[in-house]
């Protein structure tokens, strides 16, 4: 797990100016004048090739209950609603986030789309989970949307997992030692993982304080996920 405290300390190391009490109202007026009344929506993304099959990485990312064990600043993560069996994928979860003196629980709507089967689409995939290329679709998309809360006007994280290659696997038809029917020989052993974070603070002061840190968050999370994959799935090639 990545260390959380040092980053949080850097984020909130800015201390208020030590002004006389008579100047407190002036300070508030200065802040109001310098900062916009609303902050614009921001998006940051990170991409990495990870040496594990897409289906296994999708299983890890859709395991929202485990987020507190690797996502920076996530203190607890609890799935509160799931799709019916056999998939039982999360559709609602509570994520508690904390650093420094900040501690907030966000209720997220979760959307999981497992890519399975074949596609003839020629459209490119985006972080919104649309179709990519042709051939076998592997991996999937996981989106957690905690928009409309007291801290953020927009807070959305979207993971997209695809095979790192676009080759179409061989299909074997007929009898085999395991029975009859069609079988796909071999899943890609390397994946391309994209993470996009979209956010908009409700308070422009938070936006100003975090502007130096937020662009690095997606990269830190995807790095932490890679460490999580190695811990759960073992080192690649073993």
Between residues 179 and 230, which one has the greater pLDDT?
230
Beta carbons of 124 and 113 less than 8 angstroms apart? no
Between residues 186 and 90, which one has the greater pLDDT?
90
| Residue 218 resides in a domain | yes
| Residue 108 resides in a domain | no
| Residue 82 resides in a domain | no
Q: Is the pLDDT of residue 160 over 90?
A: yes
Least confident of 143-157, 164-178, 214-228: 164-178
Beta carbons of 53 and 188 less than 8 angstroms apart? yes
Domain count, the chain: 1
**pTM for this model (two decimals):** 0.69
The pLDDT score that the predictor gives to residue 202 is 87
Least confident of 18-22, 137-141, 163-167, 211-215: 18-22
Least confident of 23-37, 126-140, 198-212, 215-229: 23-37
Between residues 67 and 176, which one has the greater pLDDT?
67
| Residue 86 resides in a domain | no
| Residue 83 resides in a domain | no
Q: Give 10-52 pLDDT, tens digit per residue.
A: 333 333 334 334 444 344 443 444 445 566 789 999 999 999 9
What CATH number did the domain enclosing 54 receive? 3.30.530.20
| Residue 73 resides in a domain | no
Helix (H) or strand (E) holding 140: strand 140-145
> Side-chain half-sphere of 121: how many Cα atoms within 13 Å?
12
| Residue 101 resides in a domain | no
* Confidence class for position 186, pLDDT limits 50, 70, 90: low
Q: Give 101-157 pLDDT, tens digit per residue.
A: 778 999 999 999 998 754 433 333 344 444 444 455 679 999 999 987 888 899 999
**Domain around 154:** 39-62+113-167+183-233
Beta carbons of 147 and 128 less than 8 angstroms apart? no
User: How far apart (Å, rounded) are the C-alpha atoms in residues 94 and 106?
Assistant: 6
| Residue 99 resides in a domain | no
């Amino acid at each position: 797990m990545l260390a959380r405290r040092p980053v949080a300390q850097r984020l909130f190391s800015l201390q208020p100016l030590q002004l006389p009490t008579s100047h407190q109202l002036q300070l508030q007026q200065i802040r109001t004048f310098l900062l916009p009344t609303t902050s614009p929506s921001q998006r940051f993304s990170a991409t990495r090739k990870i040496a594990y099959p897409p289906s296994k990485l999708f299983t890890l990312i859709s395991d929202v209950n485990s987020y507190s064990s690797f996502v920076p600043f996530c203190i607890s993560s609890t799935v509160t609603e799931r799709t019916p069996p056999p998939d039982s994928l999360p559709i609602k979860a509570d994520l508690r986030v904390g650093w420094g003196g900040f501690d907030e629980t966000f209720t997220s709507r979760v959307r999981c789309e497992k890519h399975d089967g074949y596609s003839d689409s020629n459209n490119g995939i985006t972080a919104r989970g649309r179709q990519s290329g042709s051939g076998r679709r592997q991996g999937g998309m996981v989106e957690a949307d905690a928009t409309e809360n007291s801290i953020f006007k927009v807070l959305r994280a979207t993971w997209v997992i695809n095979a790192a290659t676009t080759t179409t696997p061989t299909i074997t038809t007929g009898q085999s030692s395991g029975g009859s029917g069609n079988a796909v020989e071999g899943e890609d052993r390397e994946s391309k993982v994209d993470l996009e974070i979209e956010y908009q603070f409700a308070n422009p002061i938070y936006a100003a304080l975090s502007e130096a840190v937020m662009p690095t968050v997606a990269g830190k999370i995807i790095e932490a996920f890679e460490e999580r994959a190695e811990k759960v799935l073992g080192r690649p090639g073993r």
